[in-house]
Structure 1
Amino acid sequence: MPSEKWPPELTPLPALTRAEGEVVDRYLEVLDLLGRINPARTQGTYSALRAAQTLALAAAGLRDALTVMHERDEREIYGGTLARAMRVLDGERRARRVMLPPEPPN
């Protein structure tokens, strides 16, 4: 009987409060939008314009998520834990779209 091959297990998210999870989600949403707006990487003005229009709403969502954390007395941001969560959610790839692309060889 052939052995079944299971897909590799996904890295689990670290334990986050609901508010921390919301901050991570909203931050990555803003990051995705900035990547779509990046003039060094975008192909057309219309998609960049739409992303820029949505960015204001996404930034407000991030602000609101941080406000909830603050109101719940979650005063500290645990950067290492949140960075691990963002890596699990493909944050490194998403962040590269915000950066300038490498210069082509001459």
Structure 2
Amino acid sequence: MLPPEPPPLPALTRAEGEFVDRYLEVVDLLGRINPARATDTYGALRAAQALASKAPALRDALTLMHERGETRVHAATLTRALRVLDGERRSGRVTVPPVSSS
């Protein structure tokens, strides 16, 4: 049995799609760096090194949107896209975990 099909992505401009993709790349790296969740320094170091190259790509995606006249961030639409792309779980790794009751 196949897993259920995820909902389709909402209609995005190419620049919005690039913005969401680059944002999630940065979030994934921040999750790997998060001292509350990291398992070793080498993995966190590698993620930090990669972050230095991914941050400009995120900036460039936003610059492209601005230059194309896309001056508003359509939060509701981009939120739907983030949910389809598992953004809630991915961004959850950036937070500090709740206090354990044990």
Q: TM-score, normalised by structure 2?
A: 0.95
1:53 to 25, 49, 53: 49
1:25 to 21, 24, 33: 21
Structure 1 match to 2:11: 15
How far did 1:57 drift? 1.0
1:94 to 69, 75, 90: 90
For residues 4 and 90 of structure 2, what CA distance do their matches in structure 1 show? 22
* Count, aligned residues: 102
Mapped pair 1:66 → 2:62: yes
Structure 1 match to 2:74: 78
2:30 to 31, 34, 58: 34
Superposition CA RMSD, Å:
1.1
Q: Where does structure 1 differ by over 3 angstroms across 4 or more consecutive aligned residues?
A: none
How far did 1:9 drift? 2.3
- State the Cα deviation string for residues 37-93 of structure 1 (Å, max 9, x = none): 000000100000010011111110000000111111111110110010000000000
Which structure would you say has the larger Rg? 1
How far did 1:99 drift? 0.5
- Structure 2 unmatched runs, 5+: none
